[in-house]
Amino acid sequence: MKSRFLLLAASLLSIGLVQAGELDSLFKSLLKNKLAPPAQPSESAQPAGSAEKPLGHLFKALTTGNTSLEEEVSIGQQIAGNLLGAAPLVRDDGLQRYVNRVGRWVSLQTERPDLAWHFGVIESDDLNAFAAPGGYIFLTKGLYLKLKTEAELAGVLGHEIGHVLRQHHLKLLQKSHGVAALGGFLSRKVKNQGELVQNLIGNGAEVVARGLDKGAEYEADRIGVVLSARAGYDAYALPAVLAEIGHVAKADKSVSLLFKTHPHPEDRLGQLSEAVGDKLDALPEGKSGAGRLYRLR
Amino acid sequence: MKLTFSALLLCAMVAAPAWAASGTMIKDDDLRLGATAGAASVGRVSKGASVEVLARQGGWTQVRHAGATGWVRILSVKTSAENTGGNVLGALQLGTARRDPSRVVAVAGVRGLNEEELRSARFNANELTRLDQYASSRADAEQFARGAGLRAIDVAYIEPASRVQEGASNSRPWGEESSF
């Protein structure tokens, strides 16, 4: 009986679903004694209103999984700002506006249509795309240049939107960095919300360089296909991008980070194929938008 | 020099007609007479079988295998790397959306984005402000979609094929799963 319980607990932990119930009581007692520093509005951009929340509340929220929307956005902003520090936006207003329109249209087909979604193409020849909590989505110029249709762009953005919807990175952070944040908090190194958030996300934008578990990637692929279809696009455009990327040599530097953090495209296609089965048989043919894809200046 | 390259590329594209793609089945599937699930089956193609990819229609692709021609679901096939189109869909799209020679990325000055760069990245408030300026509102996105002739439809989320594949064990992504 006991061993069965342990097994259950272990398996739950391994899939990251436990919302730290035991830690919660530990935090309660710790916070009771420790909660003193007043909340300081951070230097780094924070959503209005979040500054008045007690630091302890944010801290507890971040580490126990009960993150409010404001807190989620604030974490995403910090990660997005850091990522942009490593690779700035491509200087092409037309491109950035276009990608935001396609992405925003796809995001309207989700259960979080009113999130402040942001999309950007960043300066890098790598093939990659990133999502940060709260609706921040980026793809590299290298990947954008590989795309042949607007539907392919929608599919790639749909995959990243899927990560945001299911809060994959937020859960990863809560699981892995809660302890580090706790350390900083207790040693009084953390002075304000921005620092606390940075503590939680680790160094710079390293969180986007860390792989999610394969199940999360497969889930995002399924969501990307469905969202493309909902938006009126060719549902099979994302698989086409995956197949294309799958043909890039594994040794090619442009895919080294992507292949390190994601299952190989061939495995992703196989998973998608099994999951989709006959479920999309009745789907009307979507638009490819082949001639609509914005060409870089 | 540039002209020669363009001419060469053009020749390569002309010499590789869209229908010449070869592919491999990634799961067992019925070979059907038409591009619908209701079309009569004229045989079965097994996972791993080599096929010739002929055409695409919606979620279906026409293939030839062992002398028989028929339609299978598009996600049942992957094209071989040697194909210029890159994949079933890419190959089939060649006719309408050829790769644009002007989009060949210059090799010089390749800019990557590795773990070290990400780890040492510093917050850039200016870029974040710039990002904000490009954001599209609901009304803007809806207007864009109307202009593109896009109409939203209802499609349910898709669950994983089997619960075992999600989460805990990922040692066998899909290879040994039996098809169903």
| Residue B136 to residue A291, Cβ atoms within 8 A | no
- How many Å apart are CA A167 and CA A110, to the nearest integer? 13
Distance, in angstroms, between A34 CA and closest chain B CA?
Answer: 29
Task: State whether ipTM is beyond 0.85.
Answer: no
Would the pLDDT of A88 be above 70?
yes
A-contacting residues of B 52-81, CB under 8 Å? Answer: 58-59, 73-76, 78-79, 81
Is residue A167 very low, low, confident or very high in pLDDT (cuts 50, 70, 90)? very high
CB contact B107 to A (< 8 Å): no
- How many Å apart are CA A3 and CA B153, to the nearest integer? 48
Query: B132 — phi, psi (to 5°)?
Result: -55, -40
Q: How many CB atoms lie within 10 A of CB B151?
A: 12
Structural domains present in chain B: 18-97 (2.30.30.40)
- pLDDT-above-90 percentage for chain A: 56
Distance, in angstroms, between B95 CA and closest chain A CA?
Answer: 11
Q: What is the pLDDT of residues A174-190, one digit of tens each?
A: 877 665 565 555 555 56
B-contacting residues of A 142-201, CB under 8 Å? Answer: 142, 145, 148-150
pLDDT at A9 (0 to 100): 41
pLDDT at A186 (0 to 100): 56
Q: How many CB pairs under 8 A join A and B?
A: 286
pTM summary value: 0.77
Q: Which residues contact A205 (CB under 8 A, 6 or more apart)?
A: A79, A82, A83, A85, A86, B118, B119, B121
Considering only CA atoms, which of A64, A28, A238 is closest in space to residue B158? A238
Q: What is the pLDDT of residues B93-139, one digit of tens each?
A: 443 444 444 444 444 467 878 888 999 899 999 999 999 999 999 99
pLDDT at A181 (0 to 100): 61
CB contacts of B110 in chain A (<8 Å) are 125, 253-254
Distance, in angstroms, between A38 CA and closest chain B CA?
Answer: 24
CB contact B1 to A (< 8 Å): no
> Are residues A139 and A95 in contact, defined by beta-carbon separation less than 8 angstroms?
no
Question: Which residue out of B25, B72, B87 would a mutagenesis test of the A interface target, given it has the greatest number of A Cβ atoms within 10 Å?
Answer: B87
| Residue B134 to residue A237, Cβ atoms within 8 A | no
Q: Which of A87, A101, A243 sits opposite B78 (nearest CB)?
A: A243
Amino acid at A269: L
Q: Which of A80, A102, A109 sits opposite B131 (nearest CB)?
A: A80
Which of the pair, A26 or A3, is modelled with greater confidence?
A3
CB contacts of A230 in chain B (<8 Å) are 152-155
DSSP per position, chain B: -HHHHHHHHHHHHHTS-GGG-EEEESS-EEEESSSSTTSPEEEEE-TT-EEEEEEEETTEEEEEETTEEEEEEGGGEEE-TTSTT-SHHHHHHTTTSPPPGGGPPPSTT-----HHHHHT----HHHHHHHHHT---HHHHHHHHHHTT-----------S-GGGSSS--SS-STTPPP-
pLDDT at A185 (0 to 100): 59
Q: Which of A100-104, A193-197, A259-263, B82-86 has the lowest mean pLDDT?
A: B82-86
CB contacts of A89 in chain B (<8 Å) are 127, 130-131
Q: What is the pLDDT of residues A254-288, one digit of tens each?
A: 999 999 899 999 999 999 999 999 999 989 999 99
Q: Which of A213-217, B161-165, B167-171 has the highest mean pLDDT?
A: A213-217
Amino acid at A264: H
**Residue A133 has what DSSP assignment?**
T
Considering only CA atoms, which of A72, A197, A83, A97 is closest in space to residue A138? A83
Is residue B173 very low, low, confident or very high in pLDDT (cuts 50, 70, 90)? very low
Distance, in angstroms, between A270 CA and closest chain B CA?
Answer: 6
- How many Å apart are CA B166 and CA B125, to the nearest integer? 38
CB contact B167 to A (< 8 Å): yes
Q: Which of A104, A223, A285 sits opposite B58 (nearest CB)?
A: A285
